[in-house]
Amino acid sequence: MQKAGFIGLGIMGKPMAVNLRKNGVELAAFTRSGVPDELTQAGVVACRSPAEVASKADILFVMVPDTPDVERVLFGEKGVAEKLKAGQIVVDLSSISPMATREFAAKVREKGADYLDAPVSGGEVGAKAGSLTIMVGGAQATFDKVKPLFEMMGKNISLIGEVGAGQVCKVANQVIVAATIEAVGEALLLASKAGVDAEKVRTALMGGFASSRILEVHGERMTKRTFDPGFRIELHQKDLNLALATAQSLGVALPNTATCQQLFNACTAHGGKAWDHSAMVRALEIMANHEIGQKPKC
């Protein structure tokens, strides 16, 4: 099997790297806070820079928060590009600008390497379970080479189109996720304010046409008040910024996306940028002067 590298071992990256190693992949890794003992004890080679990872791997995975972070990892001091050579493949798993993605891919190709953008969906739960949805942009031949490794991290793996198409697909995903979180929050808040058990409502709705993964997982977070991050609000804000900027460049109106972003902004204003994105419901609760689960005020 080809040697792989992994850069970025945060909430999502670490379990993805763990799954690669569990499946026998020879892995080198770098993260700014230091490669966790859990990985080094499992045989992962800890590197001191992205460039060092590039010197040890055929396929390099990048999983960092935002567009500037990817640019720094690839082209900054001691970045991947310093050691990149013909035949290698860079796979960006991050969720970043589709336009910047195409620029990064062009620079990587100048080195004779190939590039895939492959943002993921499924949160920390999916990363740990190896059940992520992976949306890929790039050439078919390059996708085919990396697919066996994708299958160690995800279940629903799709080649969407050329480079950048994966990022566009992820932006669309985040629009739907945000709008659905907002709808679930409104529904459960309404039930609770009416004096009805919101958890029983959620359970009942899971058997009907309103059923969704977000109602199942994030609806339960709302009723149980468990907002430790699987996916932080500040990251979803970043993704919606990408959606709104892309829409503006295309002359497309996304009114509900804009509303969801404002609700996230309200959460951030109340100290919630690191809350799980299901905590969007807290902004709705503030406006309603009611928290899901509390008894309605007379």
Q: Where are the domains of the chain?
A: 3-162, 168-288
pLDDT band at 1 (very low <50, low <70, confident <90, very high): low
Q: How far apart are CA 117 and CA 62, in angstroms?
A: 10
End-to-end CA distance of the chain: 66
pLDDT band at 229 (very low <50, low <70, confident <90, very high): confident
pLDDT tens, residue by residue, 14-29: 999 999 999 999 999 9
Q: How far apart are CA 99 and CA 122, in angstroms?
A: 24
User: What is the arithmetic mean of pLDDT over 231-248?
Assistant: 94
Q: How far apart are CA 276 and CA 265, in angstroms?
A: 13
Q: Is the pLDDT of residue 298 over 70?
A: no
Strand-strand pairing, 27-30 and 45-46: parallel
To which H or E segment does residue 95 belong?
Answer: none
Q: How far apart are CA 15 and CA 123, in angstroms?
A: 11
Q: Could you tell me if 285 and 189 are in contact, meaning their C-beta atoms sit under 8 angstroms apart?
A: yes
Domain 168-288 fold: N-(1-d-carboxylethyl)-l-norvaline Dehydrogenase; domain 2 (1.10.1040)
Query: Which of 32, 158, 171 is CA-nearest to residue 100?
Result: 171
pLDDT value, residue 230: 81
pLDDT band at 123 (very low <50, low <70, confident <90, very high): confident
CATH code for the domain defined by 3-162: 3.40.50.720
User: What is the arithmetic mean of pLDDT over 173-202?
Assistant: 97
Please give the positions annotated as active site. Answer: 170
Query: Which of 83, 9, 90 is CA-nearest to residue 42?
Result: 9
pLDDT tens, residue by residue, 132-150: 999 999 999 999 999 999 9
pLDDT value, residue 2: 76
Query: Which of 114, 91, 126, 129 is CA-nearest to residue 6?
Result: 91
Q: Is the pLDDT of residue 188 over 80?
A: yes
Q: Is the pLDDT of residue 244 over 60?
A: yes
For the four alpha carbons of 263, 269, 273 and 274, in that order, the dihedral sign comes to negative
**Is residue 90 helix, strand or coil?**
strand
pLDDT tens, residue by residue, 38-97: 999 999 999 999 999 999 999 999 999 999 999 999 999 999 999 999 999 999 999 999
Q: How far apart are CA 181 and CA 168, in angstroms?
A: 20
Query: Which of 51, 35, 155, 136 is CA-nearest to residue 92?
Result: 136
- Which residues are CB-neighbours of 209 under 8 A, at least 6 positions away? none
Q: Is the pLDDT of residue 156 over 90?
A: yes
Q: Could you tell me if 12 and 126 are in contact, meaning their C-beta atoms sit under 8 angstroms apart?
A: no
**Token pair of 162 as six digits:** 């050329």
Contacts 24+ apart (CB under 8 A), 107-112: 107/74, 107/75, 107/81, 108/74, 108/81, 108/84, 111/81, 111/84, 111/85, 111/86, 112/85, 112/86, 112/87
pLDDT tens, residue by residue, 192-209: 999 999 999 999 999 999
Question: How is 132-145 classified by DSSP, letter by letter?
Answer: EEEEEES-HHHHHH
Strand-strand pairing, 4-7 and 89-92: unpaired
- Note the pTM of the prediction, 2 decimals: 0.88
